[in-house]
């Protein structure tokens, strides 16, 4: 089950569970669409992978135990462990390689 992290790791923008602009990598690193496009060039600064839109967890319990109320999103905010200059250099070095070949 996805954690549904509450913020963009780059700019700290709030990304509630229903946020359509949330993007995640395969490790659930979470960023807003603006940062993925403008600053990261679709390169996860943590693993080097690409991003996909984060799914929206259903609010209504249509199947027993499966809803946002029964399986709430994480409230733990996550922040980058790299500085922005290092992230920019990493993204430049990797962004020309398609995500499926990284």
Kindly report the pTM of this predicted structure: 0.92
pLDDT tens track for 8-56: 999 999 999 999 999 999 999 999 999 999 999 999 999 999 999 999 9
Q: Could you tell me the pLDDT band of residue 70, with boundaries at 50, 70 and 90?
A: very high
User: Residue 2 — pLDDT band, cuts 50, 70, 90?
Assistant: very high
DSSP code per residue over 42-86: T--TTTS---EEPPPPPSS-SBTTBSTTTSPPP------SS-HHH
In the chain, where are the structural domains located?
22-101
Confidence at 95, pLDDT banded by 50, 70, 90: very high
pLDDT for the residue 18: 97
């Amino acid at each position: 089950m996805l954690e549904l992290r509450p913020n963009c790791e780059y700019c700290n923008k709030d990304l509630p569970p229903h946020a359509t602009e949330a993007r995640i990598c395969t490790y659930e690193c979470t960023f807003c669409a603006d940062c993925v496009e403008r600053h990261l060039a679709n390169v996860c600064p943590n693993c080097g992978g690409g991003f996909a839109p984060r799914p929206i967890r259903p609010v209504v319990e249509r199947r027993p135990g499966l809803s946002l109320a029964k399986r709430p999103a994480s409230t733990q905010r996550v922040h980058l462990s790299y500085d922005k200059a290092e992230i920019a250099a990493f993204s430049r070095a990797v962004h020309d390689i398609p995500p499926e070949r990284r």
